[in-house]
Amino acid sequence: MNDPRTFDANATGTTPFGDLPEWDLTDLYPAPDSKEIKRDQDWLEDACRSFATDYEGKLAGLDADGLLEAVKRYEQIDIIAGRIMSYAGLRYYQHTTDPERAKFMSDMQDKITTYTTPLVFYGLEFNRLDDAHIEALLAANADLARYKPVFDRMRAMKPYQLSDELEKFLHDQSVVGSAAWNKLFDETIAGLKFTVNGDELNIEGTLNLLSEQDRSTREAASRELARVFGENVGLFARVHNTLAKEKEVEDRWRGLPTPQTGRHLSNHVEPEVVEALRNAVVDAYPRLSHRYYALKAKWMGLETMEVWDRNAPLPMEADRTVPWDEAQQTVMDAYAAFDPRMADLAKPFFTDGWIDAGVKDGKAPGAFAHPTVTTVHPYVMLNYLGKPRDVMTLAHELGHGVHQVLAAEQGELLSSTPLTLAETASVFGEMLTFRKLLDQAKDATERKVLLAGKVEDMINTVVRQIAFYDFECKLHAARAQGELTPDDINALWMSVQGESLGPVFNFMDGYETFWAYIPHFVHSPFYVYAYAFGDGLVNALYAVFEEQGEAFKDKYFDMLKAGGSKHHSELLAPFGLDASDPAFWAKGLSMIEGMIDELEAME
């Protein structure tokens, strides 16, 4: 039977939800064999070589103007390398099982790694400069002082850097290390096939069935996911064992005190802030997820909920498909209602080929917004299947896109936002869309469905992600003691599930393997707490918006424009917020509690 979730990768974009947009990547390059790509590769190879010739062993002798020139040359190299890899990566994610696209991406990765090896000296040599010397240079040149946040992040790694020779080796070796295991994971996941009720589906189509109204369909999808994950669990365990061990070896050589330290440093966030967030959320499990899911079980007429009921629509929820045009209008209206500037920034995503929305054979699962480079523009990837949650995903990824467009004004080296703040605009975009829909609710039933959907999204963003973080912490700690069998990893996964979801859940046989498909564990260890950070931050920000109204908006846009040029404490200060204060996280979590209170009061 033909299923809309597996239409051909080269289809025109016509689906049951309307014509879905596809990427136009020509803003990056006209084609993989274009003269423009060859030109940029040749330029990059020469620029990296000449940079090393001009500066290796000479950074200490540069004056402020000379260092500024070096930084600008390095930034231009970053732009060209990023442009090439963005193009290769976006083509690959459109169709990860296409050998030509996989080869092109690998070849580009290999070449750029080789070209940029001569640059490894730069960060190492810079970190050997005396603090007072750097401060004097920054004081002498205001344009150079702009880059202080970049230098601060580089110097945060100073205690953990290795010899120049070892750093070059790690740089060269990365393409056959973590990058290769990442690619194996991506291609394996994209190539998995699931048969549910006679239909052959990819992973995205199968996961989508977990939010179907029909309970038997949800159960069939869950059991099929468990079956296929179970068949492949050995390979996924090998990926996790290898990556966790590789990380442990590198961390040990660098002297990083914990497996999480590298992520905290790259996020420019203090470990105690993350710990305060984690503890506040775990402490709130009974008041949030346990209480909500008990309420949901009651609505569904169930004594015990199964894992396939977690994301089920409510019994009173209309089982309808949201056409793409309606999803676009909903999000754009919500953005415009907040501030017309936000809608103007979002518009080109729809009109200029910046979104790839359809589910296609071999396409990477999930959704993301990729900033590419500051001289081009972001691209958004979705797997749109017409669910109400897909509308929220569109609002989320567009928020990232708007943030990335605004932050691009900072230039390549300062635009990138730490993960902790990278989720701010995305979650805020979701909140705007939710509030707009809530204001338009026609009756108590529709309000209840919207509130319940938002609470579930917040639980998925806050509770689930902190449970994921705890799983990763346990996984890396256990791997440091020795090789982990699939059963070992399964047990670690289950150790956080009941605690986070609550006593109302029964966990089917096979659910213990569901860690296997989550890409963040593979691509970005300990990334997941950024979602909870972002959600808590946005809840607190939205409360400030409700208090301040118009006065909030310019401050909000200024925060997004800042990109990675300021620490989270500086960015939050204008709003009177402080992420190091446990009360900050309590404020964000109380918003979720308030929604559950309202749902309980409706009973």
Residue range 165-194: average pLDDT? 91
pLDDT band for 13, please (50, 70, 90 cuts).
low
Same domain, 55 and 129: yes
- What's the domain range around 201? 184-275+461-523
Last residue within a domain, chosen from 474, 494, 523 = 523
Residue range 419-438: average pLDDT? 90
With a CB cutoff of 8 Å and minimum separation 6, the contacts of 569 are: 578, 579, 580
For tokens 């390059």, what's the residue?
29
Same domain, 203 and 77: no
- Number of other residues whose CB lies within 10 A of the CB of residue 425: 27
Residue 186 has pLDDT above 50, yes or no: yes
pLDDT, residue 2, reads 30
The domain total for the chain is: 2
Amino acid making up residue 565: S
Q: CA-CA distance, 573 to 586, in Å (whole number)?
A: 18
Residue 267 lies in a domain: yes
Q: pTM for this structure?
A: 0.83
Same domain, 40 and 101: yes
Residue range 495-518: average pLDDT? 97
Same domain, 77 and 55: yes
Return the structure tokens found at 289: 């997820």
Are 528 and 465 spatial neighbours (Cβ–Cβ below 8 Å)?
A: yes
- Number of other residues whose CB lies within 10 A of the CB of residue 441: 14
Amino acid making up residue 138: L
Helices (H) then strands (E): counts for the chain: 28, 9
Residue 377 lies in a domain: no
Last residue within a domain, chosen from 479, 500, 523 = 523
pLDDT band for 245, please (50, 70, 90 cuts).
very high
Q: Name the 3-class secondary structure at 262.
A: helix
pLDDT, residue 1, reads 29
Are 426 and 368 spatial neighbours (Cβ–Cβ below 8 Å)?
A: no
Residue 144 lies in a domain: yes
Q: CA-CA distance, 248 to 243, in Å (whole number)?
A: 9
pLDDT band for 12, please (50, 70, 90 cuts).
very low
* Residue/partner pairs of 237-243 with CB below 8 Å, 24 or more apart: 237/484, 237/485, 237/486, 237/489, 239/181, 239/184, 239/185, 239/522, 240/475, 240/479, 240/484, 240/489, 240/521, 240/522, 241/479, 241/483, 241/484, 242/181, 243/178, 243/181, 243/522, 243/525
Return the structure tokens found at 244: 């966790």
Q: CA-CA distance, 146 to 138, in Å (whole number)?
A: 8
Return the structure tokens found at 36: 């423009």
pLDDT, residue 582, reads 79
Same domain, 103 and 84: yes
Supply the DSSP string of 54-92, one letter for each residue: HHTTTGGG--HHHHHHHHHHHHHHHHHHHHHHHHHHHHH
Same domain, 115 and 43: yes
Same domain, 82 and 201: no
Residue 239 lies in a domain: yes
pLDDT band for 456, please (50, 70, 90 cuts).
very high
Residue 8 lies in a domain: no
Same domain, 47 and 120: yes
Same domain, 67 and 40: yes
pLDDT band for 377, please (50, 70, 90 cuts).
very high
Q: CA-CA distance, 537 to 551, in Å (whole number)?
A: 18
Question: How large a percentage of the chain has pLDDT more than 90?
Answer: 78
Residue 327 lies in a domain: no
Same domain, 233 and 257: yes
107 sits in which H/E element: helix 99-116
Residue 355 has pLDDT above 80, yes or no: yes
Same domain, 161 and 193: no
Residue 497 has pLDDT above 70, yes or no: yes
Are 501 and 306 spatial neighbours (Cβ–Cβ below 8 Å)?
A: no
